[in-house]
Amino acid sequence: MKINCPACQAVGKIDDKWQGKQIRCPKCQEVFIAQDISHLPSHVSVVPEPLFVSEEDQSADENHIMATDIVFSGQAGEFFRIWIVNLFMTIVTFGIYTPWAKVRTRNYFFSHTATADTPFAYLADPLILLRGYIVVFGGFLIYSAINATFPPMALVVMLLFGLIFPFLLFKSHRFQAYNSAYRGIRFHFLGTLKESYIIYLALPVLIPLTLGLIFPYWAFRQKQYFMGNMAFGNSKNDFKGKSSYFYGIYIRALLMLLGLFVPLVGLFFMFGFADGEMFRSGGGGAAWGVALIAVIGFFYVGVLLVTTFIQQYIYARITNYCWENSTLGNVTFSSTMRARDLMIIRVTNILALVISFGLLYPWTKIRRSRYVLHKLQLQVAGGLDVFMARNEQDQTGLGEAALDFFDFEIGL
């Protein structure tokens, strides 16, 4: 609904639930009762001269939609220096620096990601992260000790971890969102713990029972849990994705997998058969050994390329879809990633890492982030100035740290 401040006459848009409640004017700090003015004739509200007119606002009104790019300005050389110093400090401090290194890295990526000329910010306190790391490190030591002395017990520990995983994931989502901000407004994750247990404990148990048929549905629920519960300030993301699209993508991925694998396996057996024939007829020797290695190598590279392509296909399509079905206040999104590009980036990144003994890691990270972020675009109706903050409560870093250590891929 549309409101205006009785003191300074500023006009703004807020969620309908504030109707009749006390609110504070973001401009003059005046507290007043929110009342919808959208039904009033437009000449009643006096639109004040904005104090600051950003570029995207100049021609902006509520009906005018502006396409706004996400700009990623991270540089491989600069990040390389930060990365090496992080590594060095981590070693010198026997690992205690780890949370500072993590925050510095995240901060680098957030503050070099900008839209409408303002960057994102990562606000986590390294001391909170450190607490989480210590707990997780202790857990890992206990697990290792149990695993070394009495392996069957380790299985029980793993089961216990499975039981607390949904809790950690829920905490992690909350922590990550809460510590991400844009223009001084924090993000929030509003999902419930109960839903986390349904998605990360109940559904995984059902997957083998249904012979994997609910797997795409499970993937959908995970995305819905994450995207649909994300909020920027007091504006909740409206996620309209449907599980049927996920089924379509997974079926296509399966068909592609078959389509690409059958010729590959066929080729492999053809070569292998020819090899065997030559071997038996005594015409072998070193040359055939080399040929056999070449065939196995070819097969291995083929499998790697096919699986990478399928993975990236699923990632690209589903990420694009999730963005396109999200509406955050007056903002909609479009994402145009292509599986082919992602596959080329991934394969060349792996090669670069192997050739450089890992030293090109910063370059690979910057490169992929640049691609993913540059393919994302915002469609803003009337400017990015209309979002409001929400009341906050503190969170602990335990969840994030736990996930970080064991590394479950949750990404956007």
**Which residues within the stretch 140-179 sit at the binding site for other proteins (CB under 8 A)?**
140, 144, 148-151
Quote the CA–CA distance of 217 and 249 in Å, as a whole number. 11
Among 3, 121, 136, 310, which residue sits at the site for other proteins (rule: CB under 8 A)? 121
Per the DSSP assignment, residues forming a β-bridge with 232 are 187, 235
Q: How far is the CB of 268 from other proteins (least distance, A)?
A: 23
- Close Cβ partners of 48 (under 8 Å, ≥ 6 residues apart): 8, 9, 10, 11, 27
Q: How far is the CB of 184 from other proteins (least distance, A)?
A: 3
Q: By C-beta, is 92 or 262 nearer to other proteins?
A: 92
Quote the CA–CA distance of 179 and 125 in Å, as a whole number. 9
366 membership: H or E segment, kind and range: helix 361-374
Q: By C-beta, is 84 or 265 nearer to other proteins?
A: 84
Quote the CA–CA distance of 106 and 189 in Å, as a whole number. 18
- Name the residue with tokens 């990015």: 384
- Residues 176-215 close enough to bind other proteins by CB under 8 A: 182-185
Quote the CA–CA distance of 288 and 163 in Å, as a whole number. 53
**296: which DSSP letter?**
H
The answer to whether 314 touches 220, Cβ cutoff 8 Å, is: no
* Residue 243 touching other proteins (CB under 8 A): no
What is the number of other CB atoms lying within 10 angstroms of the CB of residue 195? 16
Q: How far is the CB of 375 from other proteins (least distance, A)?
A: 19
Q: String of b and e for 75-97 (b: at least 16 CB within 10 Å)?
A: ebeebbebbeebeeebeeeeeeb
Among 107, 222, 327, 396, which residue sits at the site for other proteins (rule: CB under 8 A)? 107
Among 191, 216, 228, 233, which residue sits at the site for other proteins (rule: CB under 8 A)? 233
* Residue 327 touching other proteins (CB under 8 A): no
Site string for other proteins, 333-352 (x = CB under 8 A): -------------x--xx--
Contact window for other proteins (CB under 8 A) among 46-54, 189-197, 274-282, 319-327: 46-54
Q: By C-beta, is 104 or 338 nearer to other proteins?
A: 104
Q: By C-beta, is 248 or 302 nearer to other proteins?
A: 302
Quote the CA–CA distance of 200 and 403 in Å, as a whole number. 14
Q: By C-beta, is 23 or 267 nearer to other proteins?
A: 23
Q: By C-beta, is 2 or 183 nearer to other proteins?
A: 183
How many binding residues for other proteins (CB under 8 A)? 71
Among 4, 5, 60, 112, which residue sits at the site for other proteins (rule: CB under 8 A)? 112
The answer to whether 177 touches 187, Cβ cutoff 8 Å, is: yes
